Amino acid sequence: MMLTMRIDQETAIALVQVIEHKDRATAAHTWRVVLYTRALAEAVGISREEEERLTFAAALHDVGKLDIPGEILGKPGPLTDAEFAVMKTHAALGHQALLSMGEDDPMLLNLVRHHHERFDGLGYPDGLVGEAIPVVARWFAVIDSFDAMTSVRPYRSQVGDEAARRAVVELQAGMGTRYSPEPVEAFADLYHTGQLDWILHYFNDEVPIPGWEAGKVETARKVRGRPGSEKA
């Protein structure tokens, strides 16, 4: 049975644009994780229908940040414990917002709510452990973390090849504790075979954020143009 999201493309685009307007750093992050998600989805060979649903889920993963105060989102330094506690509510807030819009696609709902869970149970919002974490969230957590470690943050300015290399090492060090091993291995393979280079080069923090449609077209062209990705 084919599942579809109740949120249509126009609504998804509008939500992404609101996120972009509220927090430009989140906007740049959103585009990169969409591209990494498409690359990983293509590599593991999921269906085109699942790939499209996963693309929208990746784009909307931080929709809950719309309810986080701007002074916390844009704070130029590290968050206090109290501020971080507020920030952590964005996963559950995003999930609730989607439910209130009538969304019932488990891929979208699970990714939004659980992308900050940890394999060892120390994540949030529900402290799920191991395979109790929905598979889509386990895989996306690796992508989300990699981009956080390779993009500009108030507490880190290093980007580029060395940052990416260190990020992969850190992901591998977290296998079985912070991360599920299988998606780390798959993502690391993409990195080591150069299949993420175009994202790291063309969509870094110094490159303007593309429009939604332009981004989708460019993503499809780049990802499907890779050797071995000719299947329909």
Flag whether 78 is in a domain.
yes
pLDDT for residue 119: 98
Give 63-76 pLDDT, tens digit per residue: 999 999 999 988 88
Report the alpha-carbon distance of residue 13 to residue 56 in Å, rounded. Answer: 9
Question: Of residues 102 and 217, which shows the higher confidence score?
Answer: 102
Q: What is the pLDDT of residues 75-134, one digit of tens each?
A: 888 899 999 999 999 999 999 999 999 999 999 999 999 999 999 999 999 999 999 999
Residue 153: the pLDDT is 55
Number of domains in the chain: 1
pLDDT confidence of residue 206 = 53
4 assigned to some structural domain? no
Model confidence over 132-188: pLDDT tens digits?
A: 999 999 999 999 999 989 886 554 455 568 889 999 999 999 999 999 999 999 999
50 domain residue, yes or no: yes
CA 135 and chain centroid, separation: 14
Tokens 């989708």 — which residue?
216
First to last CA, the chain: 19
Domain containing 190 — which CATH number? 1.10.3210.10
> Of the candidates 162, 184, 189, which has an alpha carbon nearest to the alpha carbon of residue 173?
184
In a domain, 80, yes or no: yes
For the chain, give the mean pLDDT.
85
With bands split at pLDDT 50, 70 and 90, how would you rate the model's confidence at 4? Answer: low
At residue 9, the 3 state secondary structure works out as: helix
Q: What is the mean pLDDT of residues 205-225?
A: 48
Q: Is the model's pLDDT at 213 over the cut of 50?
A: no
User: Percentage of residues in the chain with pLDDT exceeding 90?
Assistant: 61
pLDDT band at residue 209 using 50, 70 and 90 as cut-offs: very low
pTM for this predicted structure: 0.84
Domain contains 150: yes
64 is a domain residue: yes
How does pLDDT run across 17-49, given as a tens digit for each residue?
Answer: 888 888 777 777 888 999 999 999 999 999 999
Among the listed residues 216, 228, 160, the one whose alpha carbon sits nearest the alpha carbon of residue 34: 216
Rounded CA separation 109/102 (Å): 11
pLDDT at 157: 52
Q: Would residue 76 count as lying in a domain?
A: yes
Containing structural domain, residue 82: 9-224
The answer to the question of residue 3 being in a domain is no
Tell which wins on pLDDT, 215 or 200: 200
